Amino acid sequence: MSVELAKGFYGAYGGRYVPETLVPALDELEAGWSEIKDDPGFQLELESLQATYVGRPTPVYLAERIGDGKRIYLKREDLCHTGAHKINNALGQALVARRLGKQRIVAETGAGQHGVAAATVCARFGLECVVYMGSEDMERQRPNVERMHLLGAEVQPVEFGTKTLKEATSEAIRDWITNVESTHYMIGSCVGPHPYPELVRDLQSVIGREAREQMLAAEDRLPEAVVACVGGGSNAIGLFAGFLDDKDVRLVGVEAAGAASLGAGRAGVLHGARSSLLADEDGQIADAHSISAGLDYPGVGPEHAFLRDTGRAEYRAATDDEALAAFHLLAQREGIIPALEPAHALARALDLDADLVLVGLSGRGDKDLATVLSR
């Protein structure tokens, strides 16, 4: 029995810590995903939609005017349809939901990027869409709330607790428990119970696959370091996936300083998985604090906790002010307004002791204008 459970683990992390009601649905999802992921028909449809609907492959761009002599490349996920990497996962999961016969989608969102991606693919596939969002996040990410409404999704405010991504995720899971027969839970990051971390990693790994080829084409060598921001960690795990086997390539994840689940966390259980969390000594989950709603989460994907422990990846932090400085720098020197989330990655990439660096620019910053301008 423990052997069977171990298949959903990354070292000591991962697993399934959920109410029994959900276990059969997770089994069904796991079976469905393993059945279709290697199905040529599915791959063809996914690749075709990635090319014509999402806008893949996204380019890597050499940001020559920043970095002070370093060669900093940006993997431009901000150019994806809907403005962030979240669509890669949402699109794949919509195809899975359709295959499983689920007509209703629930999702959680922090910054609103995953909510918009979920609402977008639900419009495209004619699925009902309910997105849970903390009321504090709804305030600071107003444009994304309006986009979700335009796309026909219902946005459910979550008014209790931290009123951010943590509570929105709990409420989405509670909805799923209640409507599990008709509903697919479209989780937005590589967190949650098995098989979600694996499913999301598989769907986001297109970022790393493309980026590796593009770096070889542009530089005829691999980058010294690959840097990405980590909230739940889906853009990082997708980008890292392309370089995991390249032992000489450093993998650097950057957390928000006030939400450093890997840097300042301890092992615990949240939202269905064992991982590294911001929690107190009794296992009560602590509040995270970040200017960036997408990083404002006390947990992280279990695979990141595993990569940290094994030393394959290193994790650092950037403060709100450092992220803001990088945000302005990229806007003013390169004409690219990044989301505040990847601005954290950029901040650490700029002072990293490496000369050829690839940074995951996971999303664009339109959604953050109100936050930035109010500072």
Partner 1 sequence: MKRLSVYLMAGPETPELAEAAVAGGADLLEFGFPFSDPLADGPVIRLAGERALAQGMRTQACLECLAETRARVEVPLIPMTYASILEAYGYERFQADAEAAGATSLIVADLPIEAAPEVKRVQLVAPTTPTERVKLAAEGTDGWLYLVSLTGTTGARAEVSSQLAGLVERARAVTDVPLLAGFGISTPAQAAEAASLADGIVVGSRAVEVAHEGGPEALREYVASLRAALQGEAGPLREEQAHASASD
Residues within the interface to partner 1 (CB under 8 A):
1-2, 4-5, 15-25, 160-161, 166, 170, 173-174, 177-181, 266-272, 274, 279-285
Matching residue, tokens 């962030």: 84
Closest separation in Å from C-beta 372 to partner 1: 30
d(CA 58, CA 80): 7
d(CA 275, CA 230): 14
Catalytic hit among 30, 75, 102, 108: 108
Closest separation in Å from C-beta 94 to partner 1: 23
Active site residue 20: no
Which residue, 52 or 178, is less far from partner 1 as judged by CB? 178
- Which two tokens mark 237? 């795990």
Which residue, 50 or 109, is less far from partner 1 as judged by CB? 109
- Which two tokens mark 92? 């794949």
Which residue, 77 or 136, is less far from partner 1 as judged by CB? 136
- Do 210 and 170 contact (CB within 8 A), yes or no? no
Closest separation in Å from C-beta 210 to partner 1: 36
DSSP string for residues in 38-64: T-HHHHHHHHHHIIIII-PSPPEEE-T
Catalytic hit among 75, 86, 163, 367: 86
Active site residue 108: yes
CA atoms lying within 13 Å on the CB side of residue 164: 20
d(CA 51, CA 54): 6
d(CA 297, CA 46): 30
Which residue, 22 or 291, is less far from partner 1 as judged by CB? 22
Closest separation in Å from C-beta 18 to partner 1: 6
Annotated catalytic residues are 86, 108, 362
